[in-house]
Structure 1
Amino acid sequence: MPDSRTPHATSQSASPTKSPLTPHSAQPHATAEPASARPATPDHPILPIVIMMIGSFTAILNQTLMTSALPHLMLDFGVTSNTAQWLSTGFMLTNGIMIPITAFLIQKFTTRQLFFYAIGMFLFGTLVCLCAPGFWVLLVGRVLQATGAGILMPLLQTVLFLTFPPSQRGTAMGWFGMVIAFAPAIGPTLSGLIIDMLPWRFLFVPLVVIAVAVLAAAIPTVRNVTPQTDPTIDVPSVVLSTLGFGGLLLGFSLAGQSGWTSVDTLVSLAVGAVSLVAFVARQLRLPRPLLNFRVFARPMFTLPMIVVVLVFVTFISTMNILPMFIQNVLGMTALQSGLLLAGGGIAEGVVNPVAGRLFDRVGIRRIAPPAIAVVAAASFALSRMDANTPAWYPAVFFTLMMAGVAFCLMPLTTTALNQLTGPLIPHGTAMNNTLRQTCAAIGIAICFTVMTTNTRPASVAGSAAAGLAHGVDAVFVVSTVVSVVAFALSLMIRDERR
């Protein structure tokens, strides 16, 4: 195995590892760069990637842990639900602002520098949350967490695509999908257990322990994989990106809370839309853009990305609406709801590696359409629920839906990013995560609007639970339509030689 300082471009003579995930040795663009700018091959290529995956898992676990804690935080701090919601909204906004600039950061700084900053800042923010004497300090801690967490996913995906050849990226992304899928699987249950038995501060203890362990393990193992091209920061682009994506994320979040016609919602959406248009126009003019929108010139990047967004909207709508149905319609506790839906996250985690390996063998056309058909069928089944639905029904079809999501989401993402090479890969991963973050906010806002407008009064439905069930069913009808559109588009995706 070559020394860790040996560039990728000169490591082709290295003997392959026996792991099923064998890193590839060279990038086509690396030979044109100075040796100091080229990535290095780590002595143990799998171990640092596993450590980075655990870091990403911790960031996602952090998001799911907070959901069940909001009612308790409202009581402890004496704040309203709208104020407490800023603990989630503030994290999401900061995360959404950080992700679009990760392409610049990945090309400006080494893998080690970025990873240590991301985990270090996440750990610092978590410690602030753990020791917060009041609500606003807790909110500051959440923002600090997000400044690190927003970098982790794009950085890890870029490392995977620079480390593994196209023929093995499906398997690599499958394992990545398995790791991050277990976070939402165990998050609600773990949160419910901690909140029921201990003070809310103990929510952050597991995060501190994992983050410290990741930092300690990363120091001797994580190596520089991403090449540095030393780009210069374009300040107007950063400002426009912050206003554009931040404004849209805030606007859609406010729409779900205050309605689409509130002044705050309209102003945020207007500022976000105008700034985003200006941001895109500026990126298309710059020779070295902050976020390269020219990746959409490749049809087999754009089409899979559209399908990814549609499937992800179905997924995120289900994740937000189904617990509400189980608790408010079926009358179960938050802990029972988390346990009931844990099977979906476990199924997603188990299926992801299988889907990745299958993708490497047979391609996307034999995987995506059947998987999306399963998602659509499960969504349709969930649209038939009412106040008398047995508890096993949403659990079974949620698990089925998550299995379908696992069979298509990572393979579709891999198909799209496989169209990119060299310096475009960080821009592709940043674009992928930016679209998912933005569309998650849009999907949540729309599903809550659909649910609210279709919820029947108790006097009409017979009970408040039956009225809410009607609104939830309407959300899953919309999700079914979105899934059918995704299925139709998936039939147009081509398998190209990878």
Structure 2
Amino acid sequence: MTARADTRPDPAAPPRAGLLIAVLVGSAFVMILNETILSVALRDLTVDLAVPATTAQWLTSGFLLTMAVVIPITGYLLDRFTPRAVFLTSLSLFSAGTLLAALAPGFGVLLAGRVVQAAGTAVMVPLLMTTIMRLVPSERRGATMGTITIVIAVAPALGPTIGGAVLAGLGWRWMFGLVFPLAVIALIIGARYLRLSSTTRRVPLDVVSVLLSAVGFGGLLYGLSAIGESGGEHPVPPWAAVVAGLVALGIFVARQLHLQRSDVALLDLRVFTRRPFSVAVATSVPLFMCLIGASAILLPLYLQTVLGVSTFASGLAVLPGGLVLGLLGRPVGALFDRVGARPLVLPGAVMTAGALWLFATLGTGSPLAAVIGIHVLLMAGLGLMMTPLMTEGLGSLPDHLYSHGSAVLSTLQQVAGALGTAVFVTVAALGSAAGAPAPDASGLRTAFVVAGVVGLVALVAATFVRSRRREPEPVAG
């Protein structure tokens, strides 16, 4: 039997721990930004690359699909390889994909660059979470984990705004050309300073689990994303992909439960034996459904189709909320270190549900200032929830399950975002007038009502968050 990876927080953290975390956060921000930065460029890409809009959409869908396939494997990767090796591989892949995309002569090469980018991106957030859990003592972990809020929530929110500005002045290739030197700088700094003491273990890679994970999470995310698209033909019917994904996931779960008895599971599901982690997941799923589906999808649709706001102006309209979400990260994390999760998560859930129901009252004559104000309220509520939930959930785990817990959280966040998009966009389309080219005010109001119900589900789940933090207990093998 080989030794477990020693992932306990090091009381004598490296003197450059702050620099290491800053490099990881900066790298992850740039990488996650690329999830949504192309969303405003799809129309230009259809012209420049001579492809239909449904084909160009794969530049975003392919990125998300690759993320969904790779993230579940990160638990194994972080057990098997050192943080330094994982970081260098991640940044090298991302840099190579970025350069390939910037120089792409046609759609096929550009799509390949996006897939390579996503393969590197998928590993970074779990690596960041696990590194913070290792380097930072529990009494200061909340404030540090708050920085991850900037990466997970703000970067995707800023993507369309930054993309629109770059597209207006320079063209779509510069979306990659400006990012490439930043990625290379992060790679050089990481290669120089990212040296953490760690003990790896030679875990065999279960290829069957990898394939089941790819079919399960990839099929589910593809199907949900396809359902959420406004139209177009798909090589695989969305419902068939969802069914295949669910079946594969069922088999995947059964296999992991069997493999974890001998401590060789690809994704160790013993993380769910810890009640705080399970509660954090149950609350985070509706939270991310609303963050992606309602805030990033429904709200821009409302601004553009109902209020007639331009694409760039709609990106600016959601910018204040995105900034509020990012600015709350560290202060909320510091409060978590003092008072625990419940006093923060419960008010945040009330604010989130309230904002979603306020969105349902908007109509064709609503002032833009009111929309911005409600969005700020929504982002403030989400900001009170995200950092405490992640820190509470991961902090409840034994040290050897940190990497698997972060992989589970990251995977379910991707799936929840796709699920929220699929549900809300479908409801908006069904609630709109027959023959409408895009969801109208009535359809969007109905979708916001459904989002409000999802917000109430998050509120109910939040009532199970514990009042005080406790040290993690051993998990039975």
What is the TM-score with the length of structure 1 in the denominator? 0.88
Q: How does 1:40-439 map to 2 (within 5 A)?
A: 41-257=13-229, 264-286=237-259, 287=262, 288-317=264-293, 318-439=295-416
Give, in whole Å, the separation in 2 of the partners of 1:201 and 1:259: 27
Number of residue pairs aligned between Structure 1 and Structure 2: 460
- How many Å apart are 1:436 and its aligned residue? 0.7
Give, in whole Å, the separation in 2 of the partners of 1:69 and 1:464: 20
- Cα distance change on mapping 1:307 and 1:260 into 2, 3 Å: farther
1:159-212 deviation per Cα after TM superposition (whole angstroms, max 9, x unaligned): 011111222211111122235544234322221112122221111122112101
Letter in 2 for 1:147: A
Equivalent residues of 2:7, 2:400 under 8 A apart: no
Unaligned runs of 5+ in 1: 1-6, 10-22, 27-40
Give, in whole Å, the separation in 2 of the partners of 1:333 and 1:452: 21
Give, in whole Å, the separation in 2 of the partners of 1:159 and 1:389: 45
- Cα distance change on mapping 1:80 and 1:472 into 2, 3 Å: same
Equivalent residues of 1:447, 1:475 under 8 A apart: yes
Give, in whole Å, the separation in 1 of the partners of 2:7 and 2:35: 35
Equivalent residues of 1:129, 1:137 under 8 A apart: yes
- Cα distance change on mapping 1:226 and 1:314 into 2, 3 Å: farther
Equivalent residues of 1:125, 1:143 under 8 A apart: yes
1:74-132 deviation per Cα after TM superposition (whole angstroms, max 9, x unaligned): 11122222111100110000011000000000011111110011011001000010000
Give, in whole Å, the separation in 2 of the partners of 1:339 and 1:202: 20
Equivalent residues of 2:291, 2:417 under 8 A apart: no
- How many Å apart are 1:43 and its aligned residue? 3.3
Q: Which has the higher contact order (CA 8 A, sep 6+)?
A: 2
- How many Å apart are 1:260 and its aligned residue? 13
Please give the root-mean-square deviation of Cα atoms over the aligned residues, in Å.
2.1
- Cα distance change on mapping 1:134 and 1:267 into 2, 3 Å: same
Match of 1:4 in 2: none
- How many Å apart are 1:456 and its aligned residue? 2.2
Letter in 2 for 1:484: L
% identical aligned pairs: 37
Equivalent residues of 2:25, 2:147 under 8 A apart: no
1:414-445 deviation per Cα after TM superposition (whole angstroms, max 9, x unaligned): 11111101211111000000111111111111
1:433-462 deviation per Cα after TM superposition (whole angstroms, max 9, x unaligned): 01111111111111111110011248xxxx
- Cα distance change on mapping 1:69 and 1:306 into 2, 3 Å: same
- How many Å apart are 1:270 and its aligned residue? 2.2
1:251-309 deviation per Cα after TM superposition (whole angstroms, max 9, x unaligned): 11122237899861122122211111111100000121000112112222101210011
Equivalent residues of 2:396, 2:470 under 8 A apart: no
Give, in whole Å, the separation in 1 of the partners of 2:32 and 2:141: 22
1:233-261 deviation per Cα after TM superposition (whole angstroms, max 9, x unaligned): 11111111111111111111122237899
1:284-335 deviation per Cα after TM superposition (whole angstroms, max 9, x unaligned): 0012100011211222210121001111111111211111111122111111
- How many Å apart are 1:497 and its aligned residue? 2.3
User: Structure 1 residue 485 and structure 2 residue 457: aligned?
Assistant: yes
Q: Name whichever of 171-180 and 335-344 sits farther off.
A: 171-180
Q: Name whichever of 384-393 and 48-57 sits farther off.
A: 384-393
Equivalent residues of 2:292, 2:421 under 8 A apart: yes
1:51-84 deviation per Cα after TM superposition (whole angstroms, max 9, x unaligned): 0110100111111211111111111122222111
Equivalent residues of 1:307, 1:486 under 8 A apart: yes
Equivalent residues of 1:184, 1:345 under 8 A apart: no
Equivalent residues of 1:189, 1:335 under 8 A apart: yes
